[in-house]
Structure 1
Amino acid sequence: MRNFLFLLILFVPLLGFSQTPEENRFEKVVLAQNLNEPMELAVLPNEDVLFIERHGAVKLFNNTTKKTSIIATIPVSTTYRSTEGVESEAEDGLLGLNIDPNFSKNHWIYLYYSPAGAEAKNILARYTFINNTLDISSKKVILEIPTQRTDCCHTGGSIDWDAAGNLYLSTGDNTSPRASDGYSPIDERAGRSAFDAQKSSSNTNDLRGKILRIHPEADGTYTIPEGNLFPKNTPKTRPEIYTMGHRNPFRISVDKKTGFVYWGDVGPDAGTDSTGLGPAAEDEFGQARKSGNFGWPYFVGDNKAFWDFDFESRKSGNKFNPEKPINNSPNNTGLQEIPPAQKAFIWYPASESKQFPLLGSGGRSAMAGPVFHKADFPNATRVFPEYYENKLFIYEWMRDWIIAVTMNEKGEYSKMERFLPNLKLEHPIEMAFGPNGDLYLLEYGQGWFMANPESKLVRIEYNGGNRKPKVMASADKLAGALPLKVQFSAEGTVDFDRDSLTYEWKLINSKGAVLALLKEKNPQFVFKNVGRYKAVLTATDAKGLKNSSEIILVAGNEPPQVTLDITEGNKTFFFPNKKISYKVNVTDKEDGSLADKRIVPSNVKFMANYQDSEDNSQEPKGHQFSASTFTAGKNLIAASDCKACHFEDKKSVGPSFVEVSKKYKTSSTAIDVLSQKIIKGGAGVWGEVAMSAHPSVGLPEAKQMVEYILSLGEEKKAPKLLPTTGQLAFKIPSGLDLSKGVYKLTASYTDKGANGMQALSHEKTITLKNPVLALGSADAMTKGIMRYKTGTMDLPIVIAANSNLSFNNIDLKGITRLEMTIVAPVQQLNSQGGVVEVHLDSPDGPIYGISEFVQPKDDPNLFNGKSKPVPYKIPITPVNGIHSLYFVFKNEKAKGALFVPLTVTFISE
């Protein structure tokens, strides 16, 4: 592990002023939703938006009416049929769209698609679009590209233009990756051309796996611009080729100022380097300043070479040479010696990239967006700020981010930064600036090959001037018996420009009639009639801009009140096999109470469940029951890219988790096998599409994910309901980690409704922590402690004596001693060691306990799991009650860092 003091110096932020625009100046506006596999868009001069869906729909968003309509349906092929006659979903369909640079005069649009019918081909066709109608009869086929439809995948299909009116079209390698273990698909055996990308990407006489450049002519033909990769009439070449050596250049963009072409190339699937096969998979962002060869299927990333693997003999030849790549495949119809391979502009694996760490980790699907030039929008009212001048926008379909890349004057990479880090995305698949300076996005949604409800067309608008207020409306009661007196509040409402605000509350009944207009910021109102009401708060700034927020209120039924108390036992921690006493009470104005026996205990739900994670964001509420106790695995999956390919109970591009569970439920090796598949990737079990590797996922986390998946095939059982008063002994399910778990006690009651109004519920939860606390999760730390994040751990590194960290509101009843795990590495930290003093309620408060001196230790295995730290026992003076605990780190002789405290365990004997 690196020297911590060096890291401290290295990562201290530089002081200075940032020019990054405030994120609240950008607004994401949803224009259309519930789309069916949206692919590409074009913004018209009047800000209407044309966009296409893979199954053939051409849609128009009318910026005046704000409505979306289907203006045409193109008959397309979206499946492939194997040589065995099995039909499966392919990546073919309606793939690319753009408008002619002279659209305002000629009204031409261009579509790239896989036409329906027996003939395997993709075509680039031109149509006329007038009066919001696509004239199907005007179709002119510009270019045909023969393909194969026996094996999936890789279609490309993106269209863009340069300043000279040349059209660029990306095409995929039209090659199955299934039979090459995620490495280079160069299967030269007879009848296996669908598995050999040498027939396409590295074939100088084939238009697949390329970015093509042509100049469309008015009569529907095209000419070849100067500067393409192969001069016209060069034997065994196609003059349309601008760049070659691509796998799946799915989204491209041409910088009209420089003429540079950018693309995202979706890479292969191998999870690790393999001697004899090739490197681990990488995706690429490419930049072509001129025509060239970009390496696939012989190279990936920065020209990492594959081996010339013989699929017949299963033996490896030599590594391919990027200076002189040779295509001697029997499926090659072009030149054998092809142009030297060019490196990618930016490249990254499934794990965290050392060169480009901001790209993150996980699944990969690179997409290239536009380079921003403010001069392109001379009449725009909302153009992006000059901060983004000359920056390239790249984005990731799987990882859901947009990044702005800064380049120098030569176009060389300089740095990158997240664009709107808090922007929630649902797999962005297309991006383009509109004439008004707005950034338009298509979001595909979470599942492959399906209409996703979260898919949408959106517009990101920048406001460089006055901003609308951000409005927050709340009330002290949202429901209650009559008369219902409500205190409204506009607290939290802000104006980012610091303008003065005026407020108006509009109270509306269920029929839409306005009961009252209240002009105060925090008014009161009494509802005297039974009903459901809406309160709309509108805030208006000094320049007249306004924004609103609303809340719903129910008058006529008082919500129940539930209390849950631990009457005997520790109220902060649970201790395995120890008991606590508890009591639940319920009162309801209309129904009565448990005390007066008008509410019977059987109508009150009380549950106690162990969770192996404190995060309860995915847990059910009220009277719902959890289908599994494997909360940690569920949360890991929810935070990963798994949902891009899998749903819990329905098929996407991959099988549902329930299907996986049923398939492997009788296998004794299922957890190990599937855990390795998550980490290393795989293919061929469930279909054509390979599963991406996730090398950044640790084996323990992968096993938690698998355990959760396998649990979904089990019969769902409701948790046991407990009496409303009694004792509870804490039991930990076998095989789960005590140091990460919590016990949740939940009591809830739903009333019977009143005066015709709906039933209301109330729930009370007590979360008892496990007695092992990670000191990196302390509530507060002083400046003498540096937080260092490694993996999933937050390490507090004590770099100065007399610093402290603290935990608030700890119940010390029944605690007999503490144990702390502390490491004091000499080699990595030059630790000085020291003493830990535990104080009550302040750093100078009464001493609760003192550790022995923590000795520095020169152990190289302290941080790699091979050496387990010995805990330091801290005797205490027993104390009852709730206290804050301060851990104060002492060593008066220290001239540097003391140690790294890891955990504290509260012991009750």
Structure 2
Amino acid sequence: MKSISTCIKQYGDRPQSMASIVKFLLAVLLLSFAIACSKKEKRILVFSKTEGYRHASIGPGIQALKKLGAENGFKVTATEDTGYIKEDSLRQYAAVLFLSTSGNILNDVQQADLERYIQAGGGFVGIHEAVTAESDWPWYHKLVGARFDGHPKVQEATLKVIDRDHPSTSFMDRTWVKTDEWYNFKDFDPGIEVVIAIDENSYEGGKNGTYHPISWYHDFDGGRSFYTAIGHSEETYDNAKFLTHVLGGIQYAMGDNELNYQQAKTDRVPPEDRFAKTVLDFNLNEPMELDELPGKGILFVERRGLLRLYDFKTKKTENLAQLNLFYGNEDGLLGLAVDPDYKNNHWIYLFYSVAGKESKQHISRFNLEDNKLDLASEKVLLTIPTDRHCCHSGGALEFGPDGNLFITVGDNTNPFESSGFAPIDEREGRKGWDAQRSAGNTNDLRGNILRIKPEDDGTYSIPKGNLFPEGTPKTRPEIYVKGCRNPFRASVDSKTGYLYWGDVGPDAGKADPQRGPSGMGEYDQARKAGYWGWPYTRGYNEPYNDFDFVAGKSGEKFNPDHLINDSPNNSGMQRLPPAQKSMIPMTYYRSEEFPWMGEGGINPMAGPVFHASDQPNAHQQFPAYFENKLFLYEWMRDWIYVITLDDDYNYVKADAFMPNTEFSHPMDMIFGSDGNLYVLEYGQKWNSQNLDARLSRISYISGNRKPLAKITQDKSVGSIPLTVQFSASGSKDFDGDVLDYQWFFTKEEVQSNDIAPTYTFTDPGNYTVRLHVTDAQGETTSTSSKILVGNDAPQLSIQIEPSDTLYWDGKEVNYKVVVSDKQDGSTTDGTIGASNVKVTFNFVPEGKDMVQATVGHQRNTVPEGKQVIDGTDCKACHAVSEKVNGPSYTEIAKKYTENDKGYLIAKIIKGGAGVWGESPMSAHPQLKMEDVSKIVDYILSLKPNNATARSLPLEGTISFGEHLKGKKEGSYVLMASYSDDGITGQEGSELVTSEQIIFKKQKTNDN
């Protein structure tokens, strides 16, 4: 670059005015300033959040890193707020440093943004415990460079400096003797470049042998990563050599690179607050499968035979038909599909168990028009013979993009006498225990996924590409996928035609080398017809052993590539096609390969695959992130994940979908033509109607989101005058808007606009304080909080002598219960009588619910429920003990029990008639579920109950002998409770306090 003086001289040789020269100089100065500003100061983000063990050295480490930055030209931002791990924030930093982080600290949104940051050229530094963090995130451990594998005690060891050319070690000697907590590692990334290793001969507890790296670096996924295992103790952060070592790692990670997000490959994950789940109907009775009547509503079936429609216009659910069928075991009305050309032909298809003595399933077509199912129009496409002694019916119906109908059918085999392994019992009379007769039988429709082409005349044809061509001896041409145990829910990719399904796994708790693998469920993908191995293989073709059920002896393991079905119960071919591997196997335990699945029961379900083009008329769709992604869900574990597939449709990664939202045994899901996701939930109790059995709609909010309103307060009860400090600081706007606050303390008008107002209540009463928060777009959200004025909480204590809480046979303990209340008095001076205090002493056997020890102490739920009733129209039709237009609350309480609570809640919200006469009960859809629950609790509390639990005196002696009667293990619970008198004339103002002491058995030392 020419000097300014040279430029002036050259410029001055020309006949120009002084004003022009000044303009030129100003332009040069501005250019110089712009160049200087483009080389902005480097910044690093030090992140030290912990969910597991927390090192005491984190605090000193932060201070040392800040000082290091100040001395070496970079700024340090230190935080434990995961909100910094997002793209808008990360763009500011040349590197991110994880300082002894622990546990799973980032959600899927933050994980994706960190991946994108590294892919854009960002830097990463990990210190010490950072290697233990994010155990369920394989990408992170590749970024760090290894996985943690334990450590011995803190001790001195000799370090070997391997690479003295790296800035983190260029100043070091060949060896370094240091005291620290020396980590062992596993699963080293092959790309790491080691700068420091440890000599395992110099200390005790090393497990890596001659190759034991301690510090390393590598270029990874577009960015740079440096890790050092040193940094356990507080003193280390005063060690100049260590700090210079870390400085070199930071400088390497920062480099000179500029972030380029065009290089980022990972899609940004939409945050959960962009999705809204709306319950459309609830208290369903075993909902099984759903589909859309195009543009009209969501059709779904319940297992006991009910066909139902949620109407988009009326926003109500209508019962369309009740099928006469067999209900039992896992049979009933199981599957539903709407014909792709429904607008023209009005056909739907049902999978149901036929009533009568003959055991069979029907796949039938019906006419459904004007919300009426014409039962007489039934065309039975396919009959599947079955045995009704047990299990595994499958039952899903799904259309593919070419009009082919897929039908999932379980193996119909008893799994309970095979020890959780392959049910291949070939003994005479044991057909029902041999899955070789079904899933392993090429001539049987069970244990398969069938594919047929429904024809207009009510028959079907066989599509090309099924597993066995028509006319092949000893086969059924309907079979597309063979070798399934219980393929329960499936989906077909509308773009590729690929089939996805979940196959419920067997029960073996752990693998047995003489029997086979541990129980495995499967998420499977079929790009073409094939055999998926059951009952001979599972997962990645892990084979079972042949087993002689007569002798109880194991044979050879089955060969997945050469499977022979020689069961006497086999009516098909003996030689079977080669077994196919599962896409994603899952066990009862945590998977190293797929840690996101967690652990627990196994009931996998698959689909749908999202394509925006499937919803051409939708006004609101899920964002581009979801394009080509597969939804997987788990019925037992109650989660939903979104699976990214590569260009070859192989698994890449999984992101949790709405992980903080409750899903109660998700049963089926589809994308509607309106762009929303519709989810059917079975509910937690099996074979019954459930309050949490729901049809829900999940919508994506692309624009402004409603704010979150939250109230905190320093007290909720107290005597007059009661001054309360309120705060709305926990309220939040997800779009970053400034919020307006409106407080309503005692009036129906705004009494404060402050974020943290103080209010003094001068009159006794039960107040509902309301807060409205409004964002810049005018969206308002409200919340409320209860304040009881004029009564102080009573105080209760239990004193025991001796004071320890262990018991042994025949032990005796003296106790004394003391109660004091500002308004009512105390037990000490006798103003609170012993009869007002409940004292109990109970033995709770091991395995029993500790709640049983609280019987007689529960607070009455009447007041709160009655307050809700008083604010509704219920009192116009009902009274406590008198019949008005409807029955009295006492009559209702006599008729129903706690088991009917879900029914009663649904009745109040939905309305109805016919139970107590002809007068209809109005619906109350405007009431919140929790408020209706309080109403029901109040009504049920009116049930006559003359039983009174015996109360002990305020002072006495308890002895420990109940456990000796049945020689039971367990705990004793001494409990006392007191309910004060409340405020005179103020119903619901009583306050309750309680205390309990749990005595546990003294353990004897047998050694």
After TM superposition, is the score higher than 0.5?
Answer: yes
- Mapped partners of 1:159, 1:70: distance in 2: 21
Asked if the contact 2:589–2:599 (Cα under 8 Å) also holds between the matched residues in 1, the reply is yes
Partner of 2:17: none
Partner of 2:598: 360
Q: Which is worse superposed, 411-420 or 296-305?
A: 411-420
Deviations along 1:604-663, one digit per CA (max 9) or x if unpaired, are 3467999999xx99797795389xxxxxxxxxxxxxxxxxxxxxx99xxxxxxxxxxxxx
What pairs with 1:475-874 in structure 2 (closer than 5 Å)?
489-505=727-743, 515-518=748-751, 520-521=753-754, 534-552=768-786, 558-562=791-795, 564=797, 584-589=818-823, 591-605=824-838, 624=857, 723=954, 748-753=977-982, 754-755=984-985, 757-758=987-988, 760-763=990-993
Partner of 2:297: 48
Q: Which is worse superposed, 123-132 or 232-241?
A: 123-132
Provide closer, same or farther for how the CA distance between residues 601 and 179 of structure 1 changes in structure 2, counting only shifts above 3 A: same
Partner of 1:118: 357
- Mapped partners of 1:186, 1:575: distance in 2: 52
TM-score, normalised by the number of residues in structure 1: 0.64
Q: Which is worse superposed, 485-494 or 455-464?
A: 485-494
- Paired residue secondary structure (1:104): helix
User: Displacement, 1:483?
Assistant: 7.9
Count of residue pairs brought into register by the alignment: 660
- Mapped partners of 2:817, 2:360: distance in 1: 72
Asked if the contact 1:568–1:582 (Cα under 8 Å) also holds between the matched residues in 2, the reply is no
Asked if the contact 1:382–1:437 (Cα under 8 Å) also holds between the matched residues in 2, the reply is yes
- Mapped partners of 2:714, 2:961: distance in 1: 39
Partner of 1:805: none
- Mapped partners of 1:416, 1:446: distance in 2: 25
Partner of 1:183: 421
Asked if the contact 1:78–1:92 (Cα under 8 Å) also holds between the matched residues in 2, the reply is yes
Indicate whether 1:311 and 2:540 are aligned.
no
Match of 2:285 among 20, 23, 36: 36
Match of 2:589 among 345, 351, 359: 351
Asked if the contact 1:622–1:763 (Cα under 8 Å) also holds between the matched residues in 2, the reply is no
- Mapped partners of 2:806, 2:552: distance in 1: 57
Structure (1 or 2) with the greater helix fraction = 2
Q: Which amino acid aligns with 1:139?
A: E
Match of 1:300 among 538, 560, 564: 538
Partner of 2:337: 98
User: Displacement, 1:411?
Assistant: 1.2
Partner of 2:506: 268
- Mapped partners of 1:554, 1:130: distance in 2: 57
Deviations along 1:550-598, one digit per CA (max 9) or x if unpaired, are 345566x62542154989999xx97999999987342142x33335532
Match of 1:450 among 677, 680, 688: 688
Asked if the contact 2:821–2:980 (Cα under 8 Å) also holds between the matched residues in 1, the reply is no
Partner of 2:272: 23
Match of 1:200 among 419, 438, 463: 438
Partner of 1:420: 658
Structure (1 or 2) with the greater strand fraction = 1
Partner of 1:159: 397
Asked if the contact 2:856–2:949 (Cα under 8 Å) also holds between the matched residues in 1, the reply is no
- Mapped partners of 2:589, 2:736: distance in 1: 43
Provide closer, same or farther for how the CA distance between residues 118 and 65 of structure 1 changes in structure 2, counting only shifts above 3 A: same
Asked if the contact 1:560–1:750 (Cα under 8 Å) also holds between the matched residues in 2, the reply is no
- Mapped partners of 1:727, 1:186: distance in 2: 63
Asked if the contact 1:264–1:366 (Cα under 8 Å) also holds between the matched residues in 2, the reply is yes
Provide closer, same or farther for how the CA distance between residues 72 and 504 of structure 1 changes in structure 2, counting only shifts above 3 A: farther
User: Displacement, 1:465?
Assistant: 2.2
Q: Which amino acid aligns with 1:344?
A: S
Provide closer, same or farther for how the CA distance between residues 731 and 625 of structure 1 changes in structure 2, counting only shifts above 3 A: farther
Deviations along 1:431-463, one digit per CA (max 9) or x if unpaired, are 222223322222212222222222222222222
User: Displacement, 1:39?
Assistant: 0.7
Partner of 2:631: 393
- Mapped partners of 1:10, 1:602: distance in 2: 70
Q: Which amino acid aligns with 1:43?
A: E
What pairs with 1:186-335 in structure 2 (closer than 5 Å)?
186-335=424-573
- Mapped partners of 1:178, 1:481: distance in 2: 64
- Mapped partners of 1:402, 1:214: distance in 2: 30
- Mapped partners of 2:800, 2:430: distance in 1: 73
Deviations along 1:346-399, one digit per CA (max 9) or x if unpaired, are 112222223322222222111112122233334434422322332222111112
Gap runs ≥5 in structure 2 = 1-147, 152-182, 190-224, 228-252, 254-263, 860-897, 900-946, 965-969
Q: Which amino acid aligns with 2:294?
A: P
Larger Rg: 2
User: Displacement, 1:165?
Assistant: 1.4
Match of 2:306 among 51, 54, 57: 57
- Paired residue secondary structure (1:123): strand
Asked if the contact 1:431–1:442 (Cα under 8 Å) also holds between the matched residues in 2, the reply is yes
Deviations along 1:18-68, one digit per CA (max 9) or x if unpaired, are 822222222222221111111111133336211111111111122333322
- Mapped partners of 1:161, 1:251: distance in 2: 13
Asked if the contact 2:794–2:980 (Cα under 8 Å) also holds between the matched residues in 1, the reply is no
Provide closer, same or farther for how the CA distance between residues 186 and 371 of structure 1 changes in structure 2, counting only shifts above 3 A: same
Provide closer, same or farther for how the CA distance between residues 367 and 475 of structure 1 changes in structure 2, counting only shifts above 3 A: same
- Paired residue secondary structure (1:178): coil
Asked if the contact 1:559–1:760 (Cα under 8 Å) also holds between the matched residues in 2, the reply is no
User: Displacement, 1:478?
Assistant: 5.2
- Mapped partners of 2:416, 2:988: distance in 1: 55
Q: Which amino acid aligns with 2:280?
A: L
Q: Which is worse superposed, 526-535 or 218-227?
A: 526-535
Asked if the contact 2:426–2:567 (Cα under 8 Å) also holds between the matched residues in 1, the reply is yes
Partner of 2:197: none
Asked if the contact 1:177–1:195 (Cα under 8 Å) also holds between the matched residues in 2, the reply is yes
- Mapped partners of 2:188, 2:995: distance in 1: 44
- Paired residue secondary structure (1:122): strand
Q: Which amino acid aligns with 1:593?
A: S
- Paired residue secondary structure (1:179): coil
Q: Which amino acid aligns with 1:549?
A: T
Asked if the contact 1:383–1:437 (Cα under 8 Å) also holds between the matched residues in 2, the reply is yes
User: Displacement, 1:300?
Assistant: 1.3
Q: Which amino acid aligns with 1:2?
A: D
Asked if the contact 2:443–2:573 (Cα under 8 Å) also holds between the matched residues in 1, the reply is yes
Provide closer, same or farther for how the CA distance between residues 20 and 220 of structure 1 changes in structure 2, counting only shifts above 3 A: same
Q: Which amino acid aligns with 1:624?
A: H
Q: Which amino acid aligns with 1:320?
A: F
Asked if the contact 1:369–1:393 (Cα under 8 Å) also holds between the matched residues in 2, the reply is yes
User: Displacement, 1:169?
Assistant: 0.9
- Mapped partners of 1:94, 1:568: distance in 2: 63
User: Displacement, 1:91?
Assistant: 0.2
Partner of 1:797: none
User: Displacement, 1:543?
Assistant: 0.9
Identity %: 45
